[in-house]
Structure 1
Amino acid sequence: MLEAKTNRQKVSTIGAITTTGQFLQHTHQGAIKGPQVIAFLTHLLRHVKGKVTVLLDNASIHKTKALSAFVADETRLAVVYLPSYSPELNPVELVWAYVKQQMLANFCPRDLRTLKSRLFQAWQRVRYIHLPTRLLYGGDP
């Protein structure tokens, strides 16, 4: 007989890749909602110089009134929405796939702290490797 202790705790991550291959992310306990998206965009503006264009999918958390107001007030920031159901157009999906296949495959954490620790290792590894910008953006690195 196999017994498993389960709970509803979870972590969520929001991330971005720059055209130079820089990876930025925030991991949160629980679901990411509108305020966390705005906090992440603020993080991007702090760490990326010049104009910033962000590609977003059509998730409802990306289309809140507060987010629209935030974008309207930030002269350096523009948001472009991807067509619905088109994850293949979103370069950060390759990062999520890499982390799931290379760092989380067959990994069953005992608790949330262990999962967060493994994710921290994954984000450090993603930052260390040279992200394949020609695959991400269709050009040469």
Structure 2
Amino acid sequence: MALVDGMHQLVKAPIVLVRDRLNTHISHAMRELVAEGAWLTVFLLPAYTPDLNPVEEMWAYVKRSLANLAFVALDRLEVLVRNRLKRLQYRPDILDGFMAGTGLALDHRASP
């Protein structure tokens, strides 16, 4: 929940959240955040379906760009990960590819 809210504060843009039905992902506090956040669109997946989760492919993409790098401090890694994620914002073709790989369509908003 803090990550989603923090990401919204960082990018200052609407967020699309694709989540599974793990109990911590559908907590009372998370339901409140979804209800309050007009900036947040949520799509629900079944309980465990990594092949249907475009975020899994997105993180794999980011991790590949970090392969064979050594970091002397955690803050340096954080800067690089933020940079990689920021670059993805300007690559809708790649983001669309992550979604297309799932076979899912973005045609309706799921209720939390």
TM-score (norm 1): 0.53
Q: Which residue type is aligned with residue 13 of structure 2?
A: H
The count of residues paired between Structure 1 and Structure 2 equals 100
| C-alpha spacing 1:135/1:47, structure 2 compared with 1 (3 Å) | closer
- Provide the rounded CA distance (Å) in 2 between the counterparts of 1:113 and 1:125: 18
Question: Does the 8 Å CA contact 2:13/2:39 hold for their aligned counterparts?
Answer: no
- Provide the rounded CA distance (Å) in 1 between the counterparts of 2:41 and 2:71: 38
Q: Which has the higher strand share?
A: 1
Higher normalized contact order (CA 8 Å, seq sep 6+, divided by chain length): 2
Counterpart pick for 2:21 among 58, 61, 64: 58
Structure 2 residue runs without a partner (length 5+): 106-112
Counterpart pick for 1:95 among 58, 64, 69: 58
Over the aligned positions, Cα root-mean-square deviation in angstroms equals: 3.2
TM-score (norm 2): 0.63
Cα distance, 1:121 vs. partner?
2.7
Q: Percent identity?
A: 31
Cα distance, 1:106 vs. partner?
1.6
Q: Which has the higher helix share?
A: 2
Cα distance, 1:47 vs. partner?
1.7
Counterpart pick for 1:136 among 90, 99, 102: 99
Larger radius of gyration: 1
